[in-house]
Amino acid sequence: MSLAKREAELLHAITHRGTVPDPPEWWRGAVFYEVYTHSFNDTTGNGIGDIPGVIARLDYIRDLGVDGLWLTPFYASPQVDNGYDISDFRAVDPDFGTIGDVRRLIAEAHDRGLKIMFDFVLGHTSDAHLWFRESASSRDNDRADWYVWADPSPDGRPPNNWMSSFGGSAWRWEPRRAQYCYHPFLDCQPALNLANPEVLAAMEDNLRFWLDMGLDGFRLDAVQCLSYDTALRSNPPAREGDNPSVAGGPNNPFKSQIHLFDRDMTDAIPILNRIRAVADEYEPQRVLIGELADVDSSRLASKYTVGNDRLHVVYDFDLIHRADNIRDWTDMLALRSEYTMPGAGLNVFTNHDSPRAVSNLMAEACDAGRAPDAARLLLFLQCTLMGGAILFQGEELGLEQPEIPKEEIKDPWALALWPDFEGRDGVRCPIPWDRDAPNCGFSDATAPWHRVPEAHAAAAVNVQEADPGSVLAYTRRLLRWRRDMPLLRTASERVLHDMPEQVIAYERVTEDEVLLCAANVGLDEVDIALPRSSLCPAFTLSETALENERLTLGPLAAIALTN
């Protein structure tokens, strides 16, 4: 594998992207709501959100106007990485509920016209999984090559220089085998050897177990990590700025290498083909949404979704990590619209791994006390830019990133890289449902797993439901409007350059329709010349004025105009 070969693969994927079918599939351009299960709604008083808690709030999710929801992992797990360390793919962690609750959740979501997806981790398990216990016990057990094992180098050190993106070497020593085991994330998350057909078949059956219940699809964790260079070659060193999409703070040691041999390997494609074939066994159509992190993900999206035998959609982290400021987005948006097929990407401005969007992307507006307006603007962009969208819980409330004192940090990634990386606790704080209830209505526990930040109480759901001018009320309006605009699901996109630095503008275009969207991300009024005439407003956020081809946008204002 070389960088040139990677580029060739990419070029092939981009030129063979295909066309959007008519009518489009249900998932194309859809808006999903990400439920961070731990922090959504606790009905048992154990301080952790649970599945009955999600069921109790399904009306709330439906009323937002989204097409479906995705739940973060609730499987049996030691919870070292909040459920992304799975010890039994077919069991529900009792903290979250029972299999019966899961069946009810699927049925109740469907009763409300919502699609429902679960999280699934294909690439690794917990080291508490029975497969790993057996595999680690000797070199000649039945599951000896179910994980990625390697002999030490002659000096006894790990076989190569691969690192965990969560800090330190990606190899852990196993004395019983006198070998190292590979883990791209925490050392308790050993990588599965998916190149072994038995392992892949076992994982396929695990997927079927949930699909048989009527689940509509999966969000697949870290699809950049499904295969590895079998020759275990060391990665070459990176130069400053080489890894703009890697999270974990500015000094994450993982950034010091070009991840040529441990991420985004061609051998992952046959694995994706097999997984897609499993999804295709079902009617109505099930969807596979891949999380593509660490790598140049918006450019690579096509490679993971091209044709009808890989994933349906992937989401990337570029809008979150690759710009210090939203004002730098224009070139990146242009690149995304060039590389991704309409509807095969998702606009993700934050998720359970990233800071709250408004604080991360619109710091200037937050400092000026305009966070709710900035949140509205981001929602406008998220719902009108090409692609579907995943709204992370609480974004519809315009929540800001809370500061979490070191002693309350639970995220192992933050603890490994502290103080250079504040970690993921801030975005994972529980949802404030009721301003005046204990724990803002999230839980009856005296000490829930994370407290609701004091500053979030004023933004509680019951406060915003009573206020027609709230971010919540706006989100519902925006998503209702989006539903009535089929063009937003499938139209291609043309980013408008030559705009003032504080303006993000683009056209969504079909053969006979145009929707021109313009947003002022700055705090001063701005006046722009439109590239076409005879447009009329379809959706307006805040103060805008249109006169012939001149458009005036007030601070943090946005508009969508149709022909």
Give the CA angle between residues 222, 227, 233 to the nearest 5°: 120
> Which C-beta is closer to ligand NOJ: that of 271 or that of 440?
271
Using rule CB under 6 A, residue 411 touches ligand NOJ: no
CB atoms within 10 A of CB 205: 12
Residues ≥6 apart with Cβ < 8 Å to 167: 248, 252, 253, 254, 413, 416, 417
> Which C-beta is closer to ligand NOJ: that of 42 or that of 81?
81
Q: What is the DSSP pairing of strand 550-553 with strand 544-547? A: antiparallel
Out of 84, 89, 182, 339, name the contact with ligand NOJ by CB under 6 A. 84
> Which C-beta is closer to ligand NOJ: that of 52 or that of 290?
290
Structure tokens at 481: 């409007």
Across the strands, what pairs with 33?
A: 69, 391
Find, among 363, 354, 370, 420, the residue nearest to 167 by Cα. Answer: 420
Buried/exposed code over 477-492 (b: 16+ C-beta within 10 A; e: otherwise): ebbebbeebebbbbbb
Residues 441-500 that bind ligand NOJ (CB under 6 A): none
> Which C-beta is closer to ligand NOJ: that of 36 or that of 60?
36
Q: For residues 394 and 431, what is the distance between their CA atoms, to the nearest angstrom?
A: 6
In the complex, least distance from residue 120 CB atom to ligand NOJ, rounded to whole angstroms? 11
Q: For residues 365 and 372, what is the distance between their CA atoms, to the nearest angstrom?
A: 9
> Which C-beta is closer to ligand NOJ: that of 85 or that of 373?
85
Using rule CB under 6 A, residue 74 touches ligand NOJ: no
Using rule CB under 6 A, residue 75 touches ligand NOJ: no
Using rule CB under 6 A, residue 262 touches ligand NOJ: no
In the complex, least distance from residue 455 CB atom to ligand NOJ, rounded to whole angstroms? 24
Helix (H) or strand (E) holding 382: helix 371-384
* Residue 474 and residue 480 in contact, taking contact as beta carbons nearer than 8 Å: no
Using rule CB under 6 A, residue 349 touches ligand NOJ: no
> Which C-beta is closer to ligand NOJ: that of 185 or that of 218?
185
The string of DSSP codes covering 255-278 is: GGB--TTTSS-TTHHHHHHHHHHH
Q: For residues 334 and 359, what is the distance between their CA atoms, to the nearest angstrom?
A: 24
Q: What is the DSSP pairing of strand 217-220 with strand 115-120? A: parallel
In the complex, least distance from residue 222 CB atom to ligand NOJ, rounded to whole angstroms? 4
Residues 169-188 that bind ligand NOJ (CB under 6 A): 185
Using rule CB under 6 A, residue 70 touches ligand NOJ: no
CB atoms within 10 A of CB 237: 10
Find, among 383, 331, 339, the residue nearest to 357 by Cα. Answer: 383
Using rule CB under 6 A, residue 316 touches ligand NOJ: no
Cis peptide before 23 (omega within 30 of 0): yes
In the complex, least distance from residue 293 CB atom to ligand NOJ, rounded to whole angstroms? 6
Using rule CB under 6 A, residue 395 touches ligand NOJ: no
Residues 120-149 that bind ligand NOJ (CB under 6 A): 121
Out of 81, 101, 396, 422, name the contact with ligand NOJ by CB under 6 A. 81
In the complex, least distance from residue 141 CB atom to ligand NOJ, rounded to whole angstroms? 25
Binding-site string for ligand NOJ from residue 86 to residue 125, where x marks contact by CB under 6 A and - marks none: -----------------------------------x----
In the complex, least distance from residue 501 CB atom to ligand NOJ, rounded to whole angstroms? 33
> Which C-beta is closer to ligand NOJ: that of 124 or that of 177?
124
In the complex, least distance from residue 185 CB atom to ligand NOJ, rounded to whole angstroms? 4
In the complex, least distance from residue 331 CB atom to ligand NOJ, rounded to whole angstroms? 27
Residue nearest to ligand NOJ as judged by C-beta position? 84
> Which C-beta is closer to ligand NOJ: that of 127 or that of 221?
221
Structure tokens at 51: 């599945």
Find, among 170, 207, 188, the residue nearest to 129 by Cα. Answer: 188
> Running DSSP on this structure, what letter comes out for residue 154?
T
Residues annotated catalytic, as ranges: 221, 281
Question: 355 phi and psi, to 5 degrees?
Answer: -65, 160
Cis peptide before 342 (omega within 30 of 0): no
Using rule CB under 6 A, residue 353 touches ligand NOJ: yes
Helix (H) or strand (E) holding 412: helix 412-417
> Which C-beta is closer to ligand NOJ: that of 68 or that of 190?
190
Q: Total residues contacting ligand NOJ (rule CB under 6 A)? A: 9
Binding-site string for ligand NOJ from residue 27 to residue 66, where x marks contact by CB under 6 A and - marks none: ----------------------------------------
In the complex, least distance from residue 412 CB atom to ligand NOJ, rounded to whole angstroms? 9
Out of 61, 200, 222, 431, name the contact with ligand NOJ by CB under 6 A. 222
Structure tokens at 185: 């994330």
Residues that bind ligand NOJ (CB under 6 A): 81, 84, 121, 185, 221-222, 291, 352-353
